[in-house]
Structure 1
Amino acid sequence: MFNKKTIFCLAVLALLTSCNKQIDNDNTIIINNPVLRDEIAEYIKYTNGHVKDSAIVVVYFSVVNDSTNRFEITYSQNAVFFMQNPFLFTAKVSNKTVFFSMKENIVKKGDITSNFFSNDTTVIYDILKKYLPKEYKRQLEYNKTGIYYIDEYILDDTENILDLTFVKDSLIKKEMRGGLIQGIY
């Protein structure tokens, strides 16, 4: 029979091993819709050919009504996405982590302190360190002053945003368009 000391040590060990701040599991969800998954994979190929530095792929989603869902797929090269748009989950597509955020009125652009939700600063830094190392170093420099450095959005006429509309799980609209992009220029 185990004594109390052994059980206590095992419990503490289990607790300590579960308290890992690293982001080891990049696959928090599985994308069941094969068309959406394939469209994201194609967008990843697009960014690999058009983006110079590291970039994260971001999917903003919204529920239009009970049968219609909209997805905007874009990329970011800085911390703005994480500071203004709390991501809800990630998925692995083509061996790349994709970040999903809702595009609803509870996430306000600009004044990030008035949002209902935000990402934890520690999590933001861990993600930047892993996926956007140049941005991580830049944020560390600016953090010495106690504030984040936020790049402004840049209006980009090149086609960099993929808009997808699904009705009852079927893709009915696909459009590549220009728009606001978060990048390092």
Structure 2
Amino acid sequence: MSEPSEDIMEATFRALCEHGYAALTMRDIAAEADRSKASLHYHYESKQGLMLAFLDHLFEHFTDRVGSFDPAGDPDAQLRAFVDEILHPPGEDTTREFRTALLEIKAQAPYDEAFRERLTAFDEHIRENVRAAVAAGVDRGVYRDDVDPEAVARFVLTLADGAQSRHVVAGADPDDAMAVFESYVESRLLADREVSA
């Protein structure tokens, strides 16, 4: 079997934005890619197989875009930039539609181990990099010595999930979530600030 081409992945993105996951068909993706349905089935036996490949494709682009923690850099600046990238994906014209489709895909995860494994990879990348940045910040005295890097990572994951849901359901601006994170850093993490009761 040959490797799928970039145009199939781009077509899948456009079709997801237009139709959502539940209503999406292989025919929709084939139409977006200007290919026959049979040519898609050459690469994938089913819609699920194509979506798993698409999630792998997304993960590769996601990790390239948000990057990884660099121990030689400023941990606080890197943490803030990393979270900002997570909360503000590119493609503002299709962001809400695509986030809606991703929520539909996430809803499949409890019932599909392959979806769950791929979605977990996104969370693990976020968790590992937030944890590393915060631990470095604590070690260097940028963050308070009682800050728990794992707890901060859980907070960021929860914030990102909530921001995605609120953006889809209520049209909330991701800037609002970023403002919450900035306030959290300023009031709870920075070493030169007192934690309020």
Q: Same fold (TM over 0.5)?
A: no
Flag the structure with higher helix content.
Answer: 2
What TM-score do the two structures reach when normalised by structure 1? 0.23
What TM-score do the two structures reach when normalised by structure 2? 0.22
Flag the structure with higher strand content.
Answer: 1
